[in-house]
């Protein structure tokens, strides 16, 4: 099991992630660097991610292994776009509950998201959806979903979306 697999149910880990994200508001250079990234590889190769996110988590007692570092890069990039931390519901529920556009338009966006297999494409779509939600995101569900993206996550999102 990856280190993230053991950390994901630890409230101190999520506090450290939130602390790092809030720190981006004071470190606008790192935030801008992460926001400009267009692919997960650009995030992975950025000092803002390696010296920011990865180093911060390690300093809080949550060292990441190489696989974790690679798979969490897109999540950290997405968090740089989040301005409102929604603690009330899953990210898929946020999409369903949005009052922007008709239900048909929201459903089409959701179906397009569920068809994505490529992590670069997933990153770009989620970045657009965060903007669509005016910067709001449920951090835990977003980070976990990006990390584990696949059929199981998609089923979970469908249940959360259609039962919202």
Q: Going by C-beta distance under 8 Å and a sequence separation of 6 or more, which residues neighbour residue 70? A: 40, 44
Instruction: Name the DSSP class of 38.
Output: -
Query: Of 79, 104, 136, at which residue does a domain stop?
Result: 79
Q: What is the pTM of this model?
A: 0.92
User: Do 69 and 89 lie in a common domain?
Assistant: no
- Helical H segments across 8-102, by residue range: 11-24, 28-36, 40-44, 47, 55-59, 66-79, 91-97
Longest dimension (CA), the chain: 46
User: Do 89 and 145 lie in a common domain?
Assistant: yes
Residue 29: CB atoms within 10 A of its CB come to 11
User: Do 139 and 104 lie in a common domain?
Assistant: yes
Query: Of 25, 45, 79, at which residue does a domain stop?
Result: 79
**Measured torsion, CA atoms of residues 139, 145, 147, 151, in degrees rounded to the nearest 10:** 180
Alpha-carbon distance of 90 to 84, in angstroms, equals: 14
* Cβ contact 15:61 at 8 Å: no
The tens place of each residue's pLDDT in the chain, 164 residues long, gives: 689 989 999 999 999 999 999 999 999 999 999 999 999 999 999 999 999 999 999 999 999 999 999 999 999 999 999 998 877 789 999 999 888 878 888 899 999 999 999 999 999 999 999 999 999 999 999 999 999 999 999 999 999 999 97
Place of tokens 């470190």: 27
What domain range is 42 assigned to? 3-79
User: Do 91 and 155 lie in a common domain?
Assistant: yes
Q: How many domains does the chain have?
A: 2
Query: Of 25, 49, 79, at which residue does a domain stop?
Result: 79
User: Do 73 and 91 lie in a common domain?
Assistant: no
User: Do 133 and 111 lie in a common domain?
Assistant: yes
């Amino acid at each position: 099991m990856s280190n993230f697999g053991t950390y994901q149910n630890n409230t101190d880990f999520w506090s450290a992630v939130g602390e790092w994200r809030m720190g981006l508001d004071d470190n606008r250079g790192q935030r801008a660097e992460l926001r400009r990234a267009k692919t997960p590889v650009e995030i992975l190769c950025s000092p803002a991610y390696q010296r920011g996110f990865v180093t911060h988590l390690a300093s809080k007692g949550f060292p990441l292994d190489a696989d974790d570092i690679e798979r969490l890069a897109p999540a950290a990039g997405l968090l740089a776009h989040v301005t409102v931390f929604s603690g009330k519901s899953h990210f898929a529920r946020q999409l369903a509950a949005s009052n922007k556009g008709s239900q048909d338009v929201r459903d089409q966006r959701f179906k397009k998201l569920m068809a994505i297999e490529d992590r670069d494409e997933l990153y770009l779509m989620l970045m657009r959806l965060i903007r669509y939600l005016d910067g709001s995101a449920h951090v835990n569900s977003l980070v976990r979903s990006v990390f584990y993206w696949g059929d199981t996550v998609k089923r979970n999102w469908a249940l959360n979306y259609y039962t919202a």
